[in-house]
Amino acid sequence: MSCHLTVEKLVTLNERYHPFSDLTKDLSDLTDYPPKFHFSAKDNICALGFQARAGSKILDGYRPPFDATVVRKMREADGILIGKTNMDEFGFGTFCTNSAFGVPLNPHDVERSCGGSSGGAAAIAALLEKHVSLAESTGGSISCPASFCGVIGFTPTYGRVSRYGLIDYANSLDKIGLIVRAPSDLRRFLPIISGPDKKDPTSCVQPRLELDGFKVKSVAVPEEALRNLDPAVLQAFEAALGKLKEQGIEAHRVSMPSLGFALAAYYVLATSEASTNLARYKGMLFGVRGGHIDQSFNDYFSEVRSANFGKEAKRRVLLGTYTRMVGFRDRYYLKALAVRQLIIKEYQGLMERDDAVLTPTMPFIAPRFTEIAKMKPLEVYQADFLTVPPNLTGMPHISLPCGYHDGMPIGMQFVAPHWEERRLLDVADRWCGEFKIRFPGAIA
Amino acid sequence: MMIGLEVHVQLPTRSKLFCSCSTSAEEPNSSICPTCLGFPGSRPSLNRRALEMGVEIARFLDCKIPEEVWFSRKTYFYPDLPKNFQITQYDSALGTDGCFIVNDKSIGIWRAHLEEDPGRIKRVGKSGEEVSLIDYNRSGIPLVEIVTAPDLSSPEEARTFLQELLVELRHIIGTTAGDEQSVRVDANISMDGERVEVKNIQGLRNLEKALKFEASRQFKMHEAGMKVVRETRRYDEERKVTMSSREKETEEDYGYIGEPDLGTFSVGAMARSMSTAETPLRRAQRMAGHYALDFGKMRQIVLTSMPLADLFELLAQRVEPEIALAWTLGPISANWSALLSRLDDQVKEDLASIVVLIANREITDSEARRRIGALASGECPSDLSCAVEDGLLDSIISTYIDEHPQVVKDYASNPKSANSVIGHVMKVAKGKYNSQEVVEAVKKEIEKRN
């Protein structure tokens, strides 16, 4: 019941789990009559009345002068924005540990990560009843935290939802989507946020969003996706395949060799684009200002960027700048573009026979922060090997909770052909009709 | 000497290339929005009119036009560039491999592409205490960059090239004198060996001056046995010299990648659907060939105005082209602005009939001038036609002779007595008839009475 949500409750939740990086101070608009609903937006989605910092110190204090199209649409549909959710800086991370504004804690176990980069969005969806989180995925930033927090993460087809007002990570990969608690929320909110928007030309080529009319009969399960998994994840996934079969969804074991190239192609493309997107942060027109304006321009912006970008942001800017350089551009950037086409073709090939492709979402359950601290950057990148491929193709996908281990949720991820979101809604409805999602006890 | 130019022409669109901000704003930073300021979350959407203008230019330059084009990000850090990358075209262009003919010489056009302009930096304050002010009104203004082959062989030719190009662009896309002043050129010039790039030259006159200075500088270095180094220089308009801008001597690495927010645009179909209007200088070339007249004179006509060229071609159908030319460049041009303001089909016909009369020697030059002047000032065309009524001349003569019978008597012994009649007619008719016509008519009348 929305009337039970108070600012005090949100503040208490935030003190315990840090899902928010900016929080409303007034919930008086959240009325039962007329009925309003509450939603949150990932901190890289611009909204009037809130800071938009995308997890970065360099945008501290930045209040955008406009609403992102998705925020405007949610508000027009009687939504009340209650806060901006915490995230890895500019989306650069898998565990939501790269935020300049605190680390959100997993509602199932506060010693563990929420996943990233939409960590706060997944955490608050797990914690708050009747809440819908606007999240965003570039390489798995919706599926991963949804899986770790045991909620439903829905990533629509690239171009389905306007990106106007989304602070860019990698424009050719970024997709705004939803993290929710029930399939019915998807059916309600997906039509609201979808549709062409002339402020984002890439949203203007979409066919109409269909919610019904497709019954999934079989899924392709790539062998390559089942290697290097935590045994608990593999076990839960195999059990889920059995239950799906009972629901009339046959699993076909297939080989998908291109899965092995997706990660490399993704990091080349994503960092190439990211390094140009981050060029605009120079301490001049928005965000933080440097202290010494009497320096040369080069010294000035270098000082601002050095002081305010986090370690992972710097790493990705360097990587992306390198892959764009003359001499390396052909070897990395252009090759990665070619690999991306190869992977799209391979998915399309599989989906000629099967209605969707199914894999686990993450290779392990949400890790403890102590474990994350020991991981090398490359090991962290490796953790995305199942969420990156569909993101690279722009195909819609959904992460659904499919089991638990040590009280921690495990997720599975369905991928459908471009614009076929309805297939994902079909499996979500059928799966959640029988599978009981466990929500951690919220604060009374 | 080899000179190649990169010409940046501002397209006269009403709004900017990627947002709806106006392109005409006076007050600094008054025509700006999140998109042209590069605010996080903003994104570009392409101005179709700018794309059309660009394609029209590429077509005019006889470029090969691809089916599809896309945009790229050119990344470099500069205070006037809000996003620190410029949206331009790199591995895609509106057109490639074209040419433009100047003084019968074909100048190769390597490519023409569309891009956004950065903001404008203004340095103010005393030396040593200078501050830079940035005006972002210009940020996002659409530009077409035209890159020539190094086919130009002198500063004068480079200037002529640009001048003639601007004439044609004025006609094709409606650029104005103001846009032409804002044209910016990067010029590559090489005397013999390394090429030097002189960047950011503004306007026609500066182009020739900068190139002349740079040519003589390179020549002097050559004479002195010094090596010209490959470098980027800039032209100082005040001191009229080029100076090294101390940039890296290697090609700057802009790390181009595709612009993912814009997608691809079909320009092949767009180009095929465009109609070809004859541009002024191409028309002048055609007219010079067709009427066997001097190109310079034809150029003068088309540059005065295309309707003047229309009128010339109308006259040239009725009378000898030389006569049409003389009257077009003479009395008609002299009254052109007034004539143009009332130029309808009737006025054109009136002008044509005046020139036909003069060609047939039916009226005098001064009468023709008077009539053209009258047309220009909007006098009733019927006043003009009543003056050429048949029999009027004869009646003036016979009336005078009736009153002065002595003339006829004197004529037998002294033919000069006819002069008094001729003088009278010329005075009364105020130059409506040519003198030879009057002389003959007077002689005829006197001899009839003898």
Residue A3 has pLDDT above 60, yes or no: no
In a domain, A300, yes or no: no
Residue A431 has pLDDT above 90, yes or no: yes
By residue range, what is the domain housing residue A203? 2-256+343-434
User: Touching check for B74 and chain A: CB below 8 Å?
Assistant: no
Predicted pLDDT at B250? 54
Return d(Cα B145, Cα B93) in angstroms, integer.
10
Predicted pLDDT at B431? 64
Residue B51 has pLDDT above 60, yes or no: yes
Residue B411 has pLDDT above 90, yes or no: no
Return d(Cα B299, Cα A256) in angstroms, integer.
68
- CA A47 to mean position of chain CA atoms: 18
Asked if B256 and B72 touch (Cβ cutoff 8 Å), the reply is: yes
E-only strand ranges, A10-127 = 20-23, 37-42, 79-85, 105-106, 109-113
Asked if A420 and A206 touch (Cβ cutoff 8 Å), the reply is: no
Mean pLDDT of the B283-287 span: 94
Asked if A89 and A55 touch (Cβ cutoff 8 Å), the reply is: yes
Strand A397-405 versus strand B120-124 pairing type:
unpaired
Predicted pLDDT at B386? 42
A230 — phi, psi (to 5°)? -60, 130
Mean pLDDT of the A193-206 span: 96
Mean pLDDT of the B161-178 span: 91
Q: How many CB atoms lie within 10 A of CB A56?
A: 29
Strand B105-116 versus strand B142-148 pairing type:
antiparallel
Of the pLDDT bands very low, low, confident and very high (cuts 50, 70, 90), residue B406 is confident
In a domain, A299, yes or no: no
Say how many domains are in chain B: 3
A218 is catalytic: no
- Show residues of chain A in contact with B43, CB under 8 Å: 163-164, 171, 199-201
Return d(Cα B338, Cα A238) in angstroms, integer.
90
Mutate to test the interface with B, among A45, A203, A282 (most CBs of B within 10 A): A282
The residue of chain B nearest to residue A272, with distances taken between CA atoms, is: B257
Residue B431 and residue B379 share a domain: no
Q: Considering Cα of B252, then B258, then B261, then B262, what sign does the dihedral take?
A: positive
A28 is catalytic: no
Q: Considering Cα of A60, then A66, then A70, then A71, what sign does the dihedral take?
A: positive
Of the pLDDT bands very low, low, confident and very high (cuts 50, 70, 90), residue B408 is confident
Residues pairing with A155 in the sheet: A397
**Contact assignment for A62 to B257 by CB distance below 8 Å:** no
Predicted pLDDT at B246? 67
Burial class (CB in 10 A: 0-12, 13-18, 19+), B272: exposed
Return d(Cα B141, Cα B332) in angstroms, integer.
40
Asked if B77 and B118 touch (Cβ cutoff 8 Å), the reply is: no
In CATH, what number is assigned to the domain containing residue B423? Answer: 1.10.10
**Percent of chain B residues topping a pLDDT of 90:** 65
- CA A176 to mean position of chain CA atoms: 8
Return d(Cα B171, Cα B161) in angstroms, integer.
16
Residue B21 has pLDDT above 70, yes or no: yes
Q: How far A325 CA sits from the closest chain B CA (Å)?
A: 5
Strand B131-135 versus strand A20-23 pairing type:
unpaired
Q: Please give the structure tokens belonging to residue B38.
A: 């590069």
Q: Please give the structure tokens belonging to residue B420.
A: 């008094």
Q: Which of B128, B46, B129, B29 is nearest to B80 (CA)?
A: B29
Residue B230 has pLDDT above 90, yes or no: no
pTM: 0.88
Predicted pLDDT at A442? 55
* Of B339, B370, B386, the domain-final residue: B386
Residue B344 and residue B261 share a domain: no
B87 — phi, psi (to 5°)? -85, 120
Choose the weakest-confidence range: A41-50, A302-311, B248-257: B248-257
A262-304 per-position pLDDT tens digit: 999 999 999 999 999 999 999 999 999 988 888 889 999 999 9
More confident residue, B129 or B3: B3
Residue B293 and residue B173 share a domain: no
The H or E element spanning position A425 is helix A421-434
By residue range, what is the domain housing residue B381? 280-386
Crossing angle between the packed helical segments B155-173 and B280-291, to the nearest 10 degrees: 100
User: Touching check for B289 and chain A: CB below 8 Å?
Assistant: no
In a domain, A197, yes or no: yes
Say how many domains are in chain A: 1
Asked if B130 and B45 touch (Cβ cutoff 8 Å), the reply is: no
Residue B211 and residue B349 share a domain: no
Residue B400 and residue B381 share a domain: no
Q: DSSP labels for A148-183?
A: HHTSEEEEPPTTSB--TTBPPS-TTT-EEEEEESSH
Q: Please give the structure tokens belonging to residue B99.
A: 């040419």
Mean pLDDT of the A313-321 span: 97
Return d(Cα B401, Cα B398) in angstroms, integer.
5
A130-174 per-position pLDDT tens digit: 999 999 999 999 999 999 999 999 999 999 999 999 999 999 999
Predicted pLDDT at B416? 84
Residue B160 and residue B227 share a domain: yes
Return d(Cα A410, Cα A241) in angstroms, integer.
13
E-only strand ranges, B215-320 = 231-236, 241-244, 257-258, 265-266
Residue B203 and residue B64 share a domain: yes
Map A310-359 to HEC letters: CHHHHHHHHHHHHHHCCCCHHHHHHHHHHHHHHHHHHHHHHHHHCCEEEE
Mean pLDDT of the B129-139 span: 93
Residue B398 has pLDDT above 90, yes or no: no
Q: How many CB atoms lie within 10 A of CB A401?
A: 26
Q: How far A113 CA sits from the closest chain B CA (Å)?
A: 27
In CATH, what number is assigned to the domain containing residue A359? Answer: 3.90.1300.10
Strand B196-202 versus strand B231-236 pairing type:
parallel
A243 is catalytic: no
Residue B116 has pLDDT above 80, yes or no: yes
In a domain, A38, yes or no: yes
Q: Please give the structure tokens belonging to residue B327.
A: 């009257």
Q: Please give the structure tokens belonging to residue A235.
A: 């076990």
- CA B400 to mean position of chain CA atoms: 56
For residue B22, the 8-state DSSP code is B
For residue A363, the 8-state DSSP code is S
Residue B247 has pLDDT above 80, yes or no: no
Query: Which residue among A171, A301, A325 places its CB closest to the CB of B261?
Result: A171
Residue A65 has pLDDT above 80, yes or no: yes
Q: Please give the structure tokens belonging to residue A179.
A: 């993290």
Residue A125 has pLDDT above 60, yes or no: yes
Of the pLDDT bands very low, low, confident and very high (cuts 50, 70, 90), residue B312 is very high
In a domain, A320, yes or no: no
**Residue B299: CA count within 13 A, CB half-sphere:** 10
Residue B290 and residue B255 share a domain: no
* Of B353, B386, B419, the domain-final residue: B386
* Of B365, B386, B407, the domain-final residue: B386
Choose the weakest-confidence range: B158-162, B180-184, B300-304: B180-184
Q: Please give the structure tokens belonging to residue A306.
A: 């050095």
**Dihedral angle of Cα B145, B147, B152, B154, to the nearest 10 degrees:** 40
- Show residues of chain A in contact with B118, CB under 8 Å: none
Return d(Cα B30, Cα B136) in angstroms, integer.
8
Predicted pLDDT at B389? 52
Query: Which residue among B78, B255, B260 places its CB closest to the CB of A171?
Result: B260
Q: Considering Cα of A63, then A64, then A68, then A73, what sign does the dihedral take?
A: positive
For residue B90, the 8-state DSSP code is S
Residue B314 and residue B264 share a domain: no
Residue B379 and residue B416 share a domain: no
Asked if B38 and B83 touch (Cβ cutoff 8 Å), the reply is: yes
Mean pLDDT of the A233-257 span: 98
Q: How far A172 CA sits from the closest chain B CA (Å)?
A: 5
Of the pLDDT bands very low, low, confident and very high (cuts 50, 70, 90), residue B448 is confident
The H or E element spanning position A70 is helix A69-76
Residue B408 and residue B362 share a domain: no
B181-203 per-position pLDDT tens digit: 889 999 999 987 788 999 999 99
Residue B82 and residue B41 share a domain: yes
Asked if A273 and A171 touch (Cβ cutoff 8 Å), the reply is: yes
- Show residues of chain A in contact with B128, CB under 8 Å: none
Asked if A37 and A122 touch (Cβ cutoff 8 Å), the reply is: no
Return d(Cα B138, Cα B284) in angstroms, integer.
35
Return d(Cα A317, Cα A271) in angstroms, integer.
6
Q: Please give the structure tokens belonging to residue B416.
A: 């000069």
CA angle B32, B37, B40 (to 5 degrees): 130
